[in-house]
Each structure stands twice: as structure tokens, then as C-alpha cells.
Structure 1
């Protein structure tokens, strides 16, 4: 399957230490053999049952994969590559996020999930099967403290009509489990809901059992919510830690999104703002790269809120009919606000965009653009105003 069609999880969840270092060592050897100075990413195919691997491609350029890697780690790859091209050695460069030398590998204390968006339903006579040719028109990147949280966020980002890892979106079809399609994730959800075992799904999909078990955790917890006589604080907290949205919880317990939100606020159950710092908190860092999670000590935010910013909502995922032109509008808006002497907050989740560059705004929330999340950010930041007209179709 083409890299652009694949779901990507970082850091790697299923590689052993030996496999990881084998691929890392090979990458360094390849880059040194070609004499590449600057940015390069290598795509591998690794046999999960042995240490046999193939190099699929070597990209000695800033591709979508490197944009994703840069946004996922907070390491400014393009900036560093440009400086290296000018002949400045890496040892003399500093990472603008941490203030430390750029000579270190980023380490993550959070989980990132990238999911492509396909708009195949807008075309007639187009196969929904995905493979070695790229059909996706955009991608999203979500950040969470657990895989379950990041996965559910990402699924909502891809399509605003999806509530999460939802078993009611598609019906069970073994053929769709065997051959990947643009909606296979929801067929897996339906199969887990029907009682398919992890081993049976592995035999059909060849998706690693680790991920299938994590997906099963979500479906199992949805059933617990649906059967609970009352939505208590521990039940609601666990649901939020697993990435359930208010609307998703409301569907499970036969309630409304507003009612769940009010219950959550009554319990003082609100998300915590965390910083992406590239060094897994091993070194003090002050960065405006932010995400929200429920997997943290309540109200232990990584920064202070000054209530003097203007919030701009981005355009979200690229789709047919809404693409880079709306990101250009959002960036123009941020620059004009900065010229007027105002501090800015950007909310967006598209790693391909300029608006999600670390130096475009005073604070960047890599978060969903949904009623729940935008209101959570608004209640924390209490901005002077919110500009929602720059993001095209989504806001």
C-alpha cells in the first residue's frame, strides 16, 4: 500500500528494539552512501515474522512524509535542511523549540496518528480499493497520550460527520476486511462489535494484533457505556481518556452532546493542555505547539493563559473543493493580526499546511475543529475574538 494511503502511528508501536535499530542503522548507511546532506526519509517494508526487509523508496527531499515527521515531532526539518544546504554544520545549529543543539533525535511522550482522507464517493466508476497508487486527497494528524485517544481524534478529523471508531457506520463484510478500502476501518469496528476475535481479524486483515486489540478496547468500552445504568464520574473520565467525544458518548447512552458536556463540566472534567517539546520532557522547553488530552493530571496545564489572543480556525483536512487556498486565507489572517499587534491562536490539524508551522502563530493547537474542542479551547484561553470565516467549508 502506498505511503500516502497508509495510516501512520508514531512513535513505532510494534517494532522491537532490535528491529528499530536495524532499520535506523540501514537508513544512516544508505544516506552516507548516497552522500545526502539535508533531509531524507526512507520507506521500508518489514516482514513481521522475520527480520527480512526491503527499501521501498528513498526520498532525499521534503515530501509529505517529512512534513508529517516535522509536525509530529516538533523538529523543524525544513529549516535545518535549508541551513545545512548553506554549509552550516549541524553542531552549530540550535533547535528553535528547545533551545538545545539540533544534534539530537526527537523523542516523543505522546502518540501521533496520521490518517489519509479519500473523497472517492464524489466519483463514479472509481474503485474504493486502495493499493500502490495514491488516491487520497489529504491527511490529518492527531495527538494523544494513548493510541485509542489519538485514533478516535483522527477519525473525527478526517470526516466531521464521524463520531469516532464507530461500529454503526459500515456493515460486516469479510471481502472488505481482506482487501483494504477507504472505509475498512469502520468495517473492522463493525466486525469487533459483532464479536470477531482479534486472531480472526488478524487472519483477514493482517493488521497487527496490537492495533486490533486497542481497537477492541474502544468497542468493548462503548458496550460498557451503553449498558451502564448511570454515567458516573469514573465511567465518563475513562471514556474521555479513550478518546470518546461528547457526541459519541451521547449516542452510546441515548443522550445529547450538550447534556454530556454539562455533566462533564459539573464533574469539572476538562481537557489538559500539553506542549510538544521534542525531548519527552527530558529538557525544559517553551513551545507554542499544543494539544489537549484527558490522560494527564487534572488542570495541570503546561502553560499559562493570558486571555489577550485572537483565535483563528483553520481549514482542516484538504478535500476536493477545499484545499490550500483556505489555508492561505488563514495564514494571511494570522499575519495581518500580528501586524496589528495582536497575539494569535491557530486551531488546525492538517500537517500539510503553513498555518501549522510553529512560527506562524503565538499558540498552535493541533486539535479537532469541532464544537466540543473549539469551546474547550475558548473556555481556557478566553480570547478577545474568534475568526471562523477563513477555514472554508469546515468551520
Structure 2
């Protein structure tokens, strides 16, 4: 195959075996997202390859030719599916091998937690954080664990509340087969949120505010947790010097070009 190709892999976490389950020789939404996330011009390079050039004949925008290309970037990209079951009557909110998503959101952060929380806010479902969605907070742990047995578009919110109520990481893994690392990251967000809730109606200590922003907590969500106006949170944050940085993602193929993402863990402020 010459040109862009989507390759899907399956990974067995018990044995480490990796197999190819699908190969699609085309440019798709996934290609566009990968191109945006890495800054690599997939469509341009595919066109040049289709025109008969080889990798050692295509100029590399850093040095030499394209066969010397190596990925780079000190950031994390999260792709999160957008489901819209609320728009379709009599359709069960159940996820499986059949395509159910109507789109997706892409977010960038300096760590996974920051990027993940930004992705949740980007779904346009009225959520500014992971906690207190619907009535999940009021449900007992055994009921939450039962809900997690059935994959749905709300699984991340259910798991968040299950962790708040003391669910074990191994038990959640057995229920969902979501890798423990991702569950651990969510558990750390829950624990930080529980610390924040101790200051409801009070002023959040600087150290806790800084950590919350580094881990992707939005001002609006913090205002809900603390029971104070969002403007008060923002004013306090800015006066304390807790402001976002804008870090570049180099656009490959164009000299000195980049687009930017906001982060509270960065250093570059244009």
C-alpha cells in the first residue's frame, strides 16, 4: 500500500499479543485527527507518494528527507466519542461493536488528566466536570457497579461516582476491562475533588487551586464544587498568578508554523 492507511490493532493485556484486525487504505476522520494531533501532513505526504515520490525524495521540514522523520511532542491528545442517544427515541444507550457515535472531540493537555477533562467539556453535553452527573451520586455502590456491567455513553460518569464511593480499581477493571492505569488516573481526580469539597463555601488554598487547574478542573466546575460564583474563582486564580500558558504544536511541512493549546502546566505565553 502506498499512501495513508488506517490500521486498527487489538491488544491482549494478559499475554501482550497484538494483532491487526482491520486495514483501510484511505484518508478518514481518524487520519485527520492523527494529522492534527501530531502536526504531520498526512494528506500532503499521501499526495506526494501517489505522485511517485518515495520517502527519501520528499523533503523533511526539519532536516534531510522524510525517511528521517521521528515523532515528537511533549503533550497528550485525547479523542473522545460524542454520542447523541437523547436525540433518538426508543434507542437503547448501549455500546458495542456497532458504530453509535455521531462525532468526536479532540483535546490536548500536558498530562492525561488535563486533556481528559478538557475532552469532557468539549462534548457539548452541558458537562463541565465528571462528578454529580444525573443522579449517579445518589446511587449505592452496588447499583453503580451493576450499571458499569453494561457499556453506555455515561460510563465515565458512573465510574467516577463509583470511585468516590470507594470502588476498588481491580473490581472496576474486572467489570469494564478498562486498563488500570486509566482507572487510577480517574481515582486521583476523585481524591482531589474530595479535598476540594472540604472547602465548600470557603477559599481554596493556593496549593490546591494550582493542582486543580493543572489536572484540568474548569473554573465553572470549581465554582459548583465550592458553592461560590465562577467570577470569584477566576478573579482569585488570576490574582494568585494561576493563568494558562499557550504551548505550540508544530505544523509539519510549514517552517516555523504552529497552532496552540492552553494548559496550566506550561511555560510559554505568547
TM-score, with length taken from structure 2: 0.90
Partner of 2:84: 119
**Residue correspondence of structure 1 range 204-219 to structure 2 within 5 A:** 204-219=175-190
Q: Is 2:59 the counterpart of 1:86? A: no
Q: Is 2:240 the counterpart of 1:276? A: no
The one of 198, 213, 216 equivalent to 1:243 is: 216
The one of 116, 126, 148 equivalent to 1:161 is: 126
Deviation at residue 276 of structure 1 after TM alignment: 1.0
Deviation at residue 67 of structure 1 after TM alignment: 1.4
Partner Cα separation in structure 2 for residue 144 and residue 99 of structure 1: 28
Partner of 2:170: 199
51-60 or 257-266: bigger deviation: 51-60
Question: Number of matched residues?
Answer: 259
The one of 6, 13, 19 equivalent to 1:54 is: 19
**Residue correspondence of structure 1 range 54-73 to structure 2 within 5 A:** 54-73=19-38
**Residue correspondence of structure 1 range 1-395 to structure 2 within 5 A:** 36-95=1-60, 98=62, 101-103=65-67, 104-171=69-136, 172=139, 173-228=144-199, 229-277=202-250, 286-297=256-267, 300-301=268-269, 304=270
1:148-169: per-residue Cα shift (whole Å, max 9, x none)? 0000000000125101222444
User: Which stretches of structure 1, 4 residues or longer, exceed 4 Å deviation after superposition?
Assistant: none
Q: Secondary structure at the match of 2:21?
A: strand
Query: Structure 1 residues 99 and 294, CA, compared in 2 at 3 Å: closer, same or farther?
Result: farther
Q: Secondary structure at the match of 2:7?
A: strand
Deviation at residue 264 of structure 1 after TM alignment: 1.0
Partner Cα separation in structure 1 for residue 57 and residue 247 of structure 2: 29
Q: Check the 8 A contact 2:251/2:257 in 1, yes or no.
A: no
1:13-57: per-residue Cα shift (whole Å, max 9, x none)? xxxxxxxxxxxxxxxxxxxxxxx1111121011100103233220
TM-score, with length taken from structure 1: 0.62
Q: Check the 8 A contact 1:106/1:278 in 2, yes or no.
A: no
Deviation at residue 86 of structure 1 after TM alignment: 0.6
Q: Secondary structure at the match of 2:261?
A: strand
RMSD value over aligned CA atoms?
1.9
Q: Secondary structure at the match of 1:158?
A: coil
Deviation at residue 80 of structure 1 after TM alignment: 0.5
Structure 2: segments with no counterpart, 5+ residues: none
1:342-387: per-residue Cα shift (whole Å, max 9, x none)? xxxxxxxxxxxxxxxxxxxxxxxxxxxxxxxxxxxxxxxxxxxxxx
Structure 1: segments with no counterpart, 5+ residues: 1-35, 280-284, 305-395
Query: Structure 1 residues 82 and 193, CA, compared in 2 at 3 Å: closer, same or farther?
Result: same
86-95 or 49-58: bigger deviation: 86-95
Q: Check the 8 A contact 1:75/1:95 in 2, yes or no.
A: no
Partner Cα separation in structure 1 for residue 16 and residue 192 of structure 2: 35
Deviation at residue 291 of structure 1 after TM alignment: 0.4
